[in-house]
A and B are shown apart, each in its own frame.
Chain A
Amino acid sequence: MRPEAWTRPAPGARLYGLPGLALLCAMAPHVTVVPLWLAAVFIATGLWRLGAEARDWALPNRWLLAAATVALCGAIGWQYRTLFGREAGVALLYAMTSLKLLEWRVHGGQRDALVLMLLGYLLVMARMLYDQGPVTALWALASVALTLAAQVRVASDGGGPPVAAVARLVGGLLARAVPLALVLFVLFPRVPGPLWSLPQDAAARTGVGEDMSPGTIAELSRSDAVAFRVRFTGGLPAADRRYWRGPVLDRYDGRTWRMSEELPGEHFPQTEASQALSYVVTLEPSGRRWLYALDLPDSLPAQTGVTASGMLMRRSAVTEVVRYEQRSVLEYRTGPLTSWERSRALRLPSTAAPRAQALGREWRTRFADPAERVQAALTMFRREPFRYTLSPPLTPTDAVDEFLFDTRAGFCEHYAGAFVALMRAAEVPARVVTGYLGGEPSPGGDYFIVRQSDAHAWAEVWLEGRGWTRIDPTAAIAPERVERGTASAIPDPDSLSLLSRRGESWVAIALLKLDALEYAWNEWVLAYGPERQRELLGWLLGWRDIDWRGLILLLVSALAIVGLALALLNRRSRRQGRDPLGRSYARFCARLAAIGLARQASEGPLSYRARIARLRPDLADATGQILVRYAELRFGEHPDPQRLRELNAQLRRFRPRA
């Protein structure tokens, strides 16, 4: 004889719904980055898994799974040429999750299922290495909630609460966890920079790069991705002064301009300068080490140095959203050139651009003053039929000569490159500077959006007495590019993407409004790093220059306070239980106890009523009604919720005085 007092549902009976949904949610966004065949593998294993459940299909045995694992690892290694780094790592995670689906059995599969849930959390994490926008955050929250629900189901081995109760439970877990998580997010000591060197995969992003050849900037111009956003804290710079300085390119091989290796230091190149302009940049991950600043930077963000050519260089590549407060001087002079710097700024390969070199040599003999040679080049651009276009004819043999003397059509990189080549031939030290020009004010006007389509290349020449001087040859041919952006300067603005066109269409306006949300998100969530943490605590608590010891102290005390508050909340809710009527009754008794009429433990409502009527006839009516109603609700056959509401209303009015 052995009666089954507790019937447990067959294990696995309810296992597949929630865990499957949670995994689908966690896997879905990765489709954009994993190779298609891998996505196909996931769909195939998912279908197999479903078939195994619904149609009793056989699942593969361990040897087949092991072989599939090896095969998938090999395929991923072949696809990415490595098994490490972000891309390959995510692909591996994807593959393992797909295969684990097949390993997960109905019976005794609890551990497999729990492993799958852990993989689900890792998949959410992996997505954050690609995108951390507000939409991703919402998706991550949904995915975590689903995975938690699935984990409740899995941990109960198919039993456990019904779906609605699981949802409540997960909601409760999240609600209780968020305050503590917030404290940790704000106060957990953030350490700057990567702990170990990042694989190179982080560099595969669009943006101004470390070299420039014909077409590089034009290609960027077609993208309306945001490069960074700026808020000016003082005045606005004039439109023709919004040159955001990026890589300085001074090595030329006949086709491509490249950066020189320079050690960043703490000495700015300017020797004299106007008053500085302050602003805050929120830079999107670029995968590169340099930061952008208005020409020329005058302050150093954290972990950053400045090179002799005036570039801000960070210790590590920008793989996260970086927010930095920056100062720049718009009017400046730089010091004399060393002979080595001078020779570097004059070097041209002897085989490159023979016609341009000849023209430069001619100007050198004709104009004694280097400034006149500069003017000669700009005059040439203005007088001759040069065109500014996003899609110039190809210049297959020599970029500079063909552009200057044959096609005469190009984008800013053609003008800047040719101009610098001419100047070097004319013995004026010159170099190419790349970066961004301009920016679009946000609808509210409190910040500017600088997009990839604002990418630009200009030139600098070194002149005696003034030092490095910015010359933008594009301004000579297309002045509206400087004032109003690319779209107004090229004959075919439709080839630009929507937001680069600065149009007034309602879609563009709506997208710009959304951008404000993204900007706030970047400022407060994504750019929250060591510097922002220090700033925030300085502002909140007046604790400047807080170090990690101070942070740990703050963190522990804040966790203790929040934890205590939560514990008190728990205690209260436990004491009150889930009995609204009992809670009301307890409140009523407490009010009577306050005037010395505490209910005895042995007293029921009706004997309590009798005693009150005896001791305080003035309260007899009010308490009598309440107690009778309570007794009805508590012990009656069919308690009516409407009566409970009436009782509560009566209780609110009941304020006995001693």
Chain B
Amino acid sequence: MSVEPRILRWHRRRHPLLRTAHPLTRRSIYILPTRTGLVFTAVLLAMLGWSINYNASLGFALVFLLGTIALEAMRRTHDNLLGLTVHPPLAEPVFAGDTAFIRLRLEAPAGEIRYGVVVRTAAGVETGGDLDGPLAALDLPVPAQRRGRLASGALRVSTCFPLGLFTAWTWVEFQPSGLVWPQPAGVAQLPAGTHGKPQQQPARTESAGDEDFAGLRPWRRGDPATHVAWKPSARSGQLQVKQFSAPPGGDELMLDLASAPGDGIEARLSQLTLWTIEADRADVRFGLRLGATELAPARGSAHRFEVLERLALYGEGADAA
């Protein structure tokens, strides 16, 4: 419908971005007849003309009954959204250029069932169904175009229930909240370590790492699943992780934005992201320096997440903290 973008602009002027759970109110619910509703109206008008022409009293009764039913259905369609609470979406971090899945939770007022609630993303992906529990979750794909906080965009929550003659809808647009890491790009080869002996390093890939297998140790939180040794684990009844010997020629790497190759900040951040992945895969201890802020070298997935988050939020002001 062509009027919707205009209503959306108007809606955005009146409603700031949401931060917390938001109950839908009358002020933000819009309602229009659907195409079926318009055809239904035409059919009713034809039936009215028919009744007038044939002086069919019972025909009048039928037309009026159906007409008032449609009005009542309009109210019910509107009220099907009223009081519904939309919770801020949760999202797993993704790399820019990928598709993020946000989990949107909708809550019906206590003791009520809301049928046929449909949520559509700005990109037009639609999902929905019946809300017959207190809290229902919907997973929606949202394209993550650029690094930083994930903006889930204006999510259109709508319903045609009960008769499909009207569609009531609203938009919920939350403060960007999830994380979008920079898109990994650039050269996969890790730079020389800045701590320890500077030395040319061989390319570190998964297969190269296997050659440096040094033994097993018990699993610790943060160990990547690819390093779990499944067969020995099954034998011992305890998760065992393959341990690799420290890479030869320097055990620490400092990734520095200033010295990363690439044109412009974004390209350099992408390069650092790729190195972060590679270093983590090679189980190298690595740190990060972004201008004045610095993260001490460490390893493990918690460290990797920390590094990626800083890369994602670089230059985003207060959000970067």
Contact = CB atoms under 8 A, between A and B. Distances in A.
Interface in A91-143: 110-111, 114-115, 118, 121-122, 124-125, 128-129, 132, 136-137, 140
A6 interface: yes
B202 interface: no
A648 to B, nearest CB: 18
Given A114-B36, A124-B62, A6 B53 contact: no
B259 interface: no
A152 B80 CA distance: 14
Given A180-B71, A577-B111, A132 B58 contact: yes
B115 A161 contact: yes
Interface stretch (B7-15, B17-25, B133-141, B311-319): B133-141
Given A132-B56, A529-B55, A122 B62 contact: no
A359 to B, nearest CB: 49
Interface string B202-215: 00000000000000
Interface in B242-286: none
**How many A residues are at the interface, by size bracket?**
35 or more
B297 interface: no
Contacts of B36: 111, 114, 118, 155
B139 A177 contact: no
B67 A159 contact: no
Nearest to B59: A128
B294 interface: no
Contact of A155 (B56, B139, B160): B160
Interface stretch (A188-196, A209-217, A265-273): A188-196
Given A118-B40, A184-B68, A140 B58 contact: yes
Interface string B110-148: 111101100000000001111000001111010000000
B45 interface: no
Interface in A1-60: 1-8
Contact of A177 (B40, B43, B65, B138): B65
A334 B116 CA distance: 75
Contact of A185 (B61, B112, B162): B61
A320 B54 contact: yes
B69 interface: yes
A578 interface: yes
Given A5-B103, A173-B73, A198-B53, A155 B164 contact: yes
Interface in A150-180: 151-152, 154-157, 159-161, 165, 169, 173-174, 176-178, 180
A7 B130 CA distance: 9
B39 interface: yes
A184 B58 contact: no
B43 A118 contact: yes
A173 B55 contact: no
A579 B110 contact: yes
Contact of A156 (B73, B101, B116): B116
Nearest to A192: B55
Interface of B: 36, 39-40, 43, 47, 49-69, 71-73, 75-76, 79, 92, 101, 103, 109-113, 115-116, 127-130, 136-139, 141, 160-164
Q: 5 closest pairs, A vs B, by CB?
A: A155-B164, A320-B55, A177-B68, A6-B129, A184-B64
Interface of A: 1-8, 110-111, 114-115, 118, 121-122, 124-125, 128-129, 132, 136-137, 140, 144, 148, 151-152, 154-157, 159-161, 165, 169, 173-174, 176-178, 180-181, 184-185, 188, 190-191, 193-196, 198, 202, 319-321, 525-529, 570, 574, 577-579
11 contacts: A121-B47, A132-B57, A148-B163, A160-B130, A160-B161, A161-B130, A173-B72, A177-B69, A529-B57, A574-B79, A577-B109
